[in-house]
């Protein structure tokens, strides 16, 4: 395991697109929901590991603004998993993980919204990993909402700059992700952190999310250490 303070650069903020649950289940002849259950276990394991190695920020994509297009029973299965996770307050106790949710909560069930607020409040003083869970999140929707906030607050055109827009996003109090991981063999961003990922390093793998382990994360971080980030310079 990577140890805290080991001599390598840990990204400041890792963002993960937790993809491939459905294909994982299909390969095993199981219903898609079984893939989501397995994916939720992987998520807990990886979040814990990120906290252990001293990562500051982790953002995971759990449900996109586009995922409502899926069959109602699959959406319900995912929402029930979210509910179970949120009820299990032990997830956060003693772990020193600060949990925040990003995305539009409006269409979520009231009990889920309450549990989200409770989890955020219960973990607000944690000083370890800050874990952002993206639920009903879409990068374009986030930018539209930022534009609406700007207009509503009467800000003048010449007062708008990149920092102001960043400050209007769900991620306003964390640095942009320096590293984005997408397993499952897809090479696309799927409306994830589209403003924040302007200079992120990307890491793709064919591994399906339920099969993703600490070892894969270690490999990804090792690869991140080989990247030459130029930000437009030389």
Active site residues: 19, 67
Handedness of CA 233, 173, 82, 192 (dihedral sign): negative
Q: Considering the complex, what minimum distance in angstroms separates the CB of residue 28 from ligand IPE?
A: 12
Task: Give yes or no for a contact between 78 and 36, defined as CB atoms under 8 angstroms apart.
Answer: yes
Q: Tell me if 162 sits within 8 A of 188, measured CB to CB.
A: no
State the minimum distance, in angstroms, from the CB of residue 100 to ligand IPE. 17
45 Cβ contact partners less than 8 Å away, ≥ 6 residues apart? 213, 214
Quick one: what does residue 220 bind among ligand IPE, Mg ion, none, with the CB cut-off 5 to 8 Å set by partner type? Answer: none
Is residue 23 near ligand IPE by the rule CB under 6 A? yes
177 belongs to the binding site for ligand IPE (CB under 6 A)? no
Are 224 and 203 contacting, i.e. CB atoms less than 8 angstroms apart? Answer: yes
**Mask 70-89, x = binds ligand IPE (CB under 6 A)?**
--------x-----------
Comparison of 18 and 168: residue with beta carbon closer to Mg ion: 18
- In the region spanning residues 102 to 161, those forming contacts with ligand IPE, defined by CB under 6 A, are none
Rounded CA separation 86/208 (Å): 24
Report the nearest approach of ligand IPE to the CB of residue 188 (Å).
Answer: 6
Select the span of 5-13, 14-22, 44-52, 121-129 touching ligand IPE (CB under 6 A).
14-22
Strand-pair category, 130-137 with 57-64: parallel
User: How many CA atoms within 13 Å lie on the side-chain side of 102?
Assistant: 26
Q: Which of 118, 188, 215, 229 binds ligand IPE (CB under 6 A)?
A: 188
Give yes or no for residue 183 binding Mg ion (CB under 5 A): no
Q: Which does 84 bind (CB under 5 to 8 A by kind): ligand IPE, Mg ion, none?
A: none
Cα(211)–Cα(20) distance, integer angstroms: 9
In whole angstroms, what is the distance from residue 160 CA to residue 52 CA? 39
Figure out which of the listed residues 10, 13, 14, 19 binds Mg ion, where binding follows CB under 5 A. 19
- Return residues touching ligand IPE (CB under 6 A): 17-23, 61-64, 66-67, 78, 184, 186, 188, 190
């Amino acid at each position: 395991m990577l140890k805290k303070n080991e001599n390598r650069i840990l990204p400041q903020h890792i963002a993960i697109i937790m993809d491939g649950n459905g294909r994982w289940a299909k390969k095993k002849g199981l219903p898609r929901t079984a893939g989501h259950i397995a994916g939720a276990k992987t998520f807990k394991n990886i979040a814990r590991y990120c906290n252990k190695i001293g990562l500051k920020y982790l953002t995971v994509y759990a449900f996109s603004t586009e995922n409502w297009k899926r069959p109602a029973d699959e959406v319900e299965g995912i929402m029930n998993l979210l509910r179970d996770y949120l009820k299990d307050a032990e997830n956060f106790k003693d772990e020193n993980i600060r949990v925040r949710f990003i995305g539009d909560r409006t269409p979520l069930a009231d009990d889920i919204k309450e549990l989200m607020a409770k989890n955020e409040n219960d973990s607000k003083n944690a000083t370890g990993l800050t874990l952002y869970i993206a639920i009903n999140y879409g990068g374009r929707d986030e930018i539209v909402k930022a534009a609406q906030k700007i207009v509503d607050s009467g800000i003048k055109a010449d007062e708008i700059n990149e920092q102001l827009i960043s400050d209007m996003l769900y991620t306003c109090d964390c640095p942009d992700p320096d590293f984005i991981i997408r397993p499952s063999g897809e090479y696309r961003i799927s409306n994830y952190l589209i403003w924040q990922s302007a200079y992120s390093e990307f890491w793709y793998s064919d591994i399906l999310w339920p099969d993703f382990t600490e070892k894969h994360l270690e490999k990804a971080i090792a690869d991140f250490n080989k990247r030459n980030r130029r930000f437009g310079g030389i």
